Structure 1
Amino acid sequence: MNRRRPQVYMMDLLATVPYYTAYLSRALQQRGVDVRVGSITYYLDLECFRSRGLRLAPGFLDVVGRFRMLPRTVRRVAKLLETVLNLFVLAVRFLVKPPQILHVQYLPMLRSRLPVDWWFVRLLRWRGARVVLTVHDLLPHDTADRYRALFQRLYSGVDRMICHSSVVAERLANEFGVAPDLVSVIPHGPFFYDLQGGESVDAVRARYGIEPGQQMVLWQGIIFPYKGLDLLLEAWAEVEAHVSDATLLVVGTGSAEITTEVRAQVARLELKRVVLDLRFLSAEELTALYRAAAVVVYPYRAITTSGALATGVALGKAVVASDLPVFRELLTKGVDALLVAPGDAGALAAATLRLVQDATLRGRMEVAMQAKDFGAASWRSIAADTEAVYESVLQTD
């Protein structure tokens, strides 16, 4: 007799972590878990969920995300109204029949004056749903301890937590008093390993004006201070002083203020071989970009988890990264990556130079990275461990 799988509502109503939600939901559904994906269409990638065979169940409306070109202010207001309506409809529906598991990926309204998504979680927990929270960020980045008390209440108001690192699990226990048996460590899975096609390596290099013989070094992501792009640009001045056959490509989005600062720093340092592409790239473009890079750099000052690093590992790239505890759980110093002290631009420059200049070392690290087999098998394991969390929390009184 087949055992009955848990019934799960996967909550990421504003598509805050759409790729994580999509890959995890697909892997769980492939195991036979009854997962409804509580998200709207991701406006920067309309196929994010649909291309992975997922139907969305946001409650009532899924309109705003389908219009990519809306002005930012209009989009934010419209998404807020749409989300409030969706939460109201879901609350009425789940008061009658709540899901067994409410798996929360993100609560984007938590820090607002009207945290209606948090109120919704509390309502469902009162109604009998078991609440599982994925801790993507222990605290909001670049906010110091401003929201510590708020997140203390969040962590004490759910039934079980999933985090991606034993370091984060220890911090939940030591800093927030969370009982260790309420936290499960399940690694972050890779993105885009399953995408094929797209531009060739030569086409990517040509598009960015990278000439034959030039080594392409990549920084990619949403630009925030904690990700250390300013440190990399400072280090790159040293790289340029020693080699002429390397180009740094910076690809990502960020606020108008921070992208202006990036451009100003490049000009101030008089960097000659830096290409800025400060926009959102499709998953296919991003995958082609990683495959074209000789070296990928992650100069973070601090981190809870990193989907960007998971992508670099999955695509088998040679890596320079900050020597952070979370990174050390995925990278092995000197084997598949060069790790440097966080915040040390000089060490970052030296490590980047070493990989740029040593093709043998790059090749050896790529082989070691590819040997991790960090792809579909990872998500199958993640889904199995996540389902075990669901079953465990359902068995508790």
Structure 2
Amino acid sequence: FITDILIIKLLGIRVIWTVHNLVIHDSKFVKFEFVIISFFARLCNGIIVHTSSALNEVVKHYGVSPDLVTIIPHGNYIKSYKNNISRMDARIKLDIPENEHVLLYFGRIRPYKGVDNLIETFNRIDQKHLKLIIAGKALNQDMANGIKKKCQGNQNIFPVITYIPYDEVQVYMNAADVVVLPYKNIFTSGALLLAMSFGKAIIAPSTGSIPDILGDNGGFLFDPLHPAGLKTAIENSRDSDLASMGRYNFEQAKKYDWDTIAGMTYSFYRKHTGQISGLADINSPDR
């Protein structure tokens, strides 16, 4: 990777890096990757992050000048997916009663995302009129089998451990009362913007860029290091005005429209390269 970047630089091609993660998720060689990425960051002509917290972290960890870094928000998913099914019809399709309080985990299942902890936490909660949907493809078959095993014997958990087709995303989102992001660690979350784009209240860790985007009005932030953090957040969601939180999140998501973001990105590229052609845009792997 570094050899490729050095060749690119020698050829006079300028490099812009869009940072989605400080290091690769679930990496076994964090210290080594940190050294490599720190070196790479210093070779960049410009760096894009999504929030002010992310900017501070990149400057702190990689020692780059703040002048090289700009904040361009992550775009929303409004109109990216169909969104015309009602809450009632979505629940009928998933065979979930109208009076249930439904939690949804949606997205790729990987170790750092904390789905195993979510299931364990859910099992310690009074589940009267409470349901949990886990919808998404696991990293591998062993992980899929492990998640299914943890769900066995609990009829209040609906594991859908597979890729969710485009047309079906709206079914799971609109059936849910609140989306749960039980991440152990996170820097930037596309799933957060997806849930906001569907007007959902959200439970999420108070780490990375999440507090900058979500705040206190759109859901429940918890400390992932506190043993009762996630449990308390779930319990608090049961007696809250989730509809108002969802409306707030949708209005916030509308601010992150792609036309505005495209204009900001174009301006940044022109500033740091003087042109649009003849540059390389390096995105962090595994968003």
- Normalising to structure 1: TM-score of the pair? 0.63
| 8 Å CA contact retained: 2:106, 2:134 | yes
Query: Which among 233, 237, 247 is matched to residue 131 of structure 2?
Result: 247
Bigger shift: residues 381-390 or 346-355: 346-355
Is 1:171–2:57 an aligned residue pair?
yes
Partner of 1:340: 222
1:26-69 deviation digits (Å, cap 9, x = unpaired) = xxxxxxxxxxxxxxxxxxxxxxxxxxxxxxxxxxxxxxxxxxxx
1:300-331 deviation digits (Å, cap 9, x = unpaired) = 12111111001111221111111114111011
Map 1:94-173 → 2, pairs under 5 A? 110=1, 119=4, 121-143=5-27, 144-173=30-59
Larger CA Rg, structure 1 vs 2: 1
The alignment partner of 1:279 has SS state of coil
RCO comparison, higher one (Cα < 8 Å, 6+): 2
Query: Which among 223, 231, 248 is matched to residue 349 of structure 1?
Result: 231
Query: Which among 160, 163, 187 is matched to residue 280 of structure 1?
Result: 163
Is 1:261–2:261 an aligned residue pair?
no
Is 1:184–2:70 an aligned residue pair?
yes
Q: Distance in 2 between matches of 1:147 and 1:195?
A: 35
Q: Distance in 2 between matches of 1:182 and 1:160?
A: 5
Map 1:1-397 → 2, pairs under 5 A? 110=1, 119=4, 121-143=5-27, 144-196=30-82, 199-239=85-125, 242-254=126-138, 255-267=140-152, 270-333=153-216, 335-358=217-240, 361-372=241-252, 374-375=253-254, 378-395=257-274
Q: Distance in 1 between matches of 2:175 and 2:229?
A: 25
Same amino acid, percent of matched pairs: 24
Deviation of 1:281 (Å): 1.3
Pairs aligned (count): 272
RMSD: 2.3
Deviation of 1:344 (Å): 3.5
- Normalising to structure 2: TM-score of the pair? 0.86
Q: Distance in 2 between matches of 1:250 and 1:346?
A: 21
1:315-362 deviation digits (Å, cap 9, x = unpaired) = 2111111111411101122x211111114352322221222344xx21
When residues 124 and 146 of structure 1 are mapped into structure 2, their CA distance, relative to the original with a 3 A threshold, is closer
The alignment partner of 1:371 has SS state of helix
Deviation of 1:171 (Å): 2.3
1:190-229 deviation digits (Å, cap 9, x = unpaired) = 2254433565433432333212322221001111121111
When residues 149 and 233 of structure 1 are mapped into structure 2, their CA distance, relative to the original with a 3 A threshold, is same
Q: Distance in 2 between matches of 1:167 and 1:342?
A: 17
| 8 Å CA contact retained: 2:202, 2:220 | yes
Uncovered stretches (5+) of structure 1, i.e. residues with no partner? 1-109
When residues 154 and 391 of structure 1 are mapped into structure 2, their CA distance, relative to the original with a 3 A threshold, is same
Uncovered stretches (5+) of structure 2, i.e. residues with no partner? 276-287
| 8 Å CA contact retained: 1:320, 1:339 | yes
Deviation of 1:140 (Å): 0.5
| 8 Å CA contact retained: 1:193, 1:315 | no
When residues 199 and 308 of structure 1 are mapped into structure 2, their CA distance, relative to the original with a 3 A threshold, is same
| 8 Å CA contact retained: 1:219, 1:251 | yes
Deviation of 1:168 (Å): 2.5
Deviation of 1:236 (Å): 0.6
Q: Distance in 2 between matches of 1:206 and 1:344?
A: 36
Deviation of 1:377 (Å): 5.4
